[in-house]
Chain A
Amino acid sequence: DTGVSQNPRHKITKRGQNVTFRCDPISEHNRLYWYRQTLGQGPEFLTYFQNEAQLEKSRLLSDRFSAERPKGSFSTLEIQRTEQGDSAMYLCASSLAGRGRETQYFGPGTRLLVL
């Protein structure tokens, strides 16, 4: 297993455009998280899935953000009508959820720059 992968690694877009990011988790992991991280801050929770079910979406997330995990494997995060404030590193992590014990493994991230 090669770990968590994310594509693309970098994305530059113009304000108002839509972007989509992909995350491929570790194959046997049933949970998948999306985080956003800006310089000097810790990862900010966006949403997470258990298998194909989206369990929670951050209240801070606007309707421009949507995520899917259609078959319980890979996931996509789409940002519509991007704004300059969306510029950040978008991190995906996967884990095997168990009783009270859950270790997340992170992908390399997708760095988004909105011009």
Chain B
Amino acid sequence: QKEVEQNSGPLSVPEGAIASLNCTYSDRGSQSFFWYRQYSGKSPELIMFIYSNGDKEDGRFTAQLNKASQYVSLLIRDSQPSDSATYLCAVKTSYDKVIFGPGTSLSVIP
């Protein structure tokens, strides 16, 4: 089992729709969870981080964490073409190392 898994892409949504990105992790003791956005040829940039169970909202982005299910998600409301990118889920594990998932490619169709 891989340490961090993400739903396979590519994911296509129409402009204005909600994009839902999912991530599961294997280390039950993981402490912190991050979502990064990566445009083609660029380095990852942080969008959201979440530490506690529940929802965290920042503008059009909402991160959801369920530690019992070892699941974290990212919702993007009112998707824009500029949101088209690869979204990386990252987890700080109980052994104090940050591990990335393989990423989900999102395409927002105008």
Contact = CB atoms under 8 A, between A and B. Distances in A.
A91 interface: yes
Nearest to A102: B92
Identify whether the interface residues of B are mostly helix, strand, loop, or mixed. Answer: strand
Contact of A100 (B32, B34, B42, B46): B32
B38 to A, nearest CB: 9
A24 B51 CA distance: 28
Interface string A51-75: 0000110000000000000000000
B100 interface: yes
Given A100-B31, A101-B51, A102-B32, A41 B90 contact: no
Interface residues of B, number: 22
Interface residues of A, number: 24
Contacts of B31: 100-101
A73 B43 CA distance: 21
- Which applies to chain A's interface (DSSP): helix, strand, loop or mixed? loop
Contact of B43 (A45, A95, A103, A106): A106
- Top 8 A-B pairs, shortest CB-CB distance: A100-B31, A42-B100, A106-B43, A42-B102, A43-B100, A42-B103, A109-B43, A106-B44
16 contacts: A33-B98, A40-B103, A42-B100, A45-B97, A55-B96, A91-B43, A101-B49, A101-B51, A103-B34, A104-B46, A104-B90, A104-B98, A106-B45, A107-B43, A108-B43, A109-B43
Interface of B: 4, 31-32, 34, 42-46, 49, 51, 88, 90, 92, 96-103
Given A45-B97, A100-B32, A103-B49, 16 more contacts: A41-B102, A42-B100, A42-B101, A42-B103, A43-B88, A45-B99, A48-B97, A95-B98, A100-B51, A102-B32, A102-B98, A103-B34, A103-B46, A104-B98, A105-B46, A106-B45
